[in-house]
């Protein structure tokens, strides 16, 4: 089974990349399941009904979230309604939505788990213990398990990778919007990358217009961020998994630019 993890989709720029090119990319790479972090997909912060439908029509099967998944009231309602839209599983009990789901591809069940870190992030429940609880409760026939770990600190992401090594098929970090070059298969057979990056404007500061972020750093005044659109780029990782064992057999970091004529390279 080949699984495509897509880094944080940034507003309309990221959505346009997916709507115009994801179907072709899935076909070219032979993708069975596509997961994308969607917490920044609607106006940079949160999700809306129309945006979620657009992502699904583009070819995203499961949408994960993070600390910004709560930023629009409409998005919170969607978390209650949809099985294909996740929020981090380690938020306190009784918050809306769910943090993991089991789907099926090619006759094989696949669990997709969404967790959020705590270092430099909101103080929520322990993601490591939450992962233990989820894995203990999965049906016995689920061997393929993939985790989106939405976290700020590199050390915490690495710690989660090593903690889950041999127990899940892949751990992919999200949140920082900067792709790391450390994709690998850990010793226990878990595919890993510290951060998938983002799907949005490469010529930007984490998807936002450069001059706006610079002004915020230079003058320390509030700035209304606007999405950038220069050098559109899809970033992520493809993990191939042995469905019999749940182990990763290959990982490939993805960085696909859309050129001026709309082609990916």
* pLDDT for 259: 77
The pLDDT-based confidence of 111 (bands split at 50, 70, 90) is: very high
Q: Which residues, 6+ apart, have CB-to-CB distance to 140 below 8 Å?
A: none
For residue 237, the model assigns a pLDDT of 98
**Which pLDDT does position 260 carry in this prediction?**
60
State the average pLDDT over residues 55-66. Answer: 98
Confidence tier at 47 by pLDDT (50, 70, 90):
very high
Which token pair is 225?
């961020």
User: What's the confidence (pLDDT) of residue 124?
Assistant: 97
Name the pLDDT band for 263 (thresholds 50, 70, 90): low
Q: What kind and span of H or E run contains 251?
A: strand 248-257
**pLDDT confidence tier of residue 196, bands split at 50, 70 and 90:** very high
68 catalytic? Reply is: yes
Separate counts of helices (H) and strands (E) for the chain: 6, 13
**In terms of Cα–Cα distance, which of 193, 192, 197 is closest to 247?**
192
What pLDDT is attached to residue 91? Answer: 97
Q: What are φ and ψ of residue 156, in 5° steps?
A: -70, -35
Q: Are 89 and 56 in contact (CB under 8 A)?
A: no
Choose the catalytic residue: 21, 68, 175, 177. 68
Q: How far is it, in rounded angstroms, from Cα 220 to Cα 258?
A: 34
Mean pLDDT over all residues of the chain?
A: 96
The residues facing 255 across adjacent strands are 235
């Amino acid at each position: 089974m080949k699984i495509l993890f897509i880094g944080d989709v940034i507003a309309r720029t990221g959505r346009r990349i997916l709507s115009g090119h994801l179907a072709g990319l899935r076909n070219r790479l032979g993708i069975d399941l596509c997961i994308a972090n969607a917490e920044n997909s609607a106006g940079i912060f949160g999700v809306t009904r129309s945006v979620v439908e657009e992502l699904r029509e583009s070819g995203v099967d499961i949408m994960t979230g993070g600390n910004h998944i709560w930023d629009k009231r409409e998005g919170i309602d969607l978390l209650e309604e949809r099985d294909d839209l996740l929020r981090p599983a380690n938020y306190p009990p009784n918050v809306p939505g769910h943090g993991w789901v089991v789907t099926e591809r090619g006759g094989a069940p696949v669990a997709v788990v969404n967790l959020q870190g705590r270092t430099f992030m909101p103080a929520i429940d322990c993601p490591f213990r939450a992962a233990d609880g989820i894995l203990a409760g999965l049906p016995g026939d689920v061997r393929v398990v993939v985790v989106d770990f939405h976290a700020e600190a590199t050390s915490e992401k690495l710690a989660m990778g090593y903690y889950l090594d041999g127990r899940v098929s892949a751990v992919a970090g999200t949140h920082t919007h900067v792709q790391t070059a450390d994709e690998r298969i850990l010793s226990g057979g878990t595919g890993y990358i510290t951060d998938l990056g983002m799907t949005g404007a490469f010529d930007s500061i984490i998807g936002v217009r450069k001059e706006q972020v610079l002004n915020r750093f230079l003058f320390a005044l509030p700035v209304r961020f606007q999405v950038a659109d220069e050098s559109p780029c899809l970033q992520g990782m493809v993990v191939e998994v042995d469905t019999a064992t749940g182990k990763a057999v290959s990982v490939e970091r993805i960085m696909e630019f859309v050129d001026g004529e709309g082609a990916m390279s």
